[in-house]
Copies of this chain bind each other. A is one copy, B any other.
Amino acid sequence: MKRRNTPSKRKILEILKEANSALSHDMIQARLDASIDRATIYRILNRFCEDGQAHKVIGGDGKQYFACGMERGGKHQHHHFHFKCLSCGKVECLENEIQIELPEGYVAEKYNALISGRCKSCT
């Protein structure tokens, strides 16, 4: 499946790059001047994740947050923690790598690690 370079994709990738945090669907929609359909936004974001241009974290609220800050060369570099501020709502990627030894016979595939609390600006 060959990917196309559409205006919508460019805009959304731009927004993800400018934000130095992970964004939920509605945060992205809020930053769009012209409106792109909800379904289209989700589809674009999911394609970004498939292609390794972005990654997804599930918030403590069960919502999906997308970020493209920690990918290098189209591949997600390492598995890291995320931090969600309960006050301002910002979701950031932390540098801390997840290092954990799983029990014998367990194989890890995906990581979803999110800590909630107060960020520096909100303390």
Contact = CB atoms under 8 A, between A and B. Distances in A.
Interface residues of A, number: 34
Contacts of A112: 58, 60, 112-116
Contacts of A102: 83, 94, 115, 117
Interface in A77-123: 81, 83, 86, 94, 96, 98, 100-120, 123
A106 B119 CA distance: 5
Interface string A35-56: 0000000000000000000000
Contacts of A110: 60, 115-117
A63 interface: yes
A96 B118 CA distance: 24
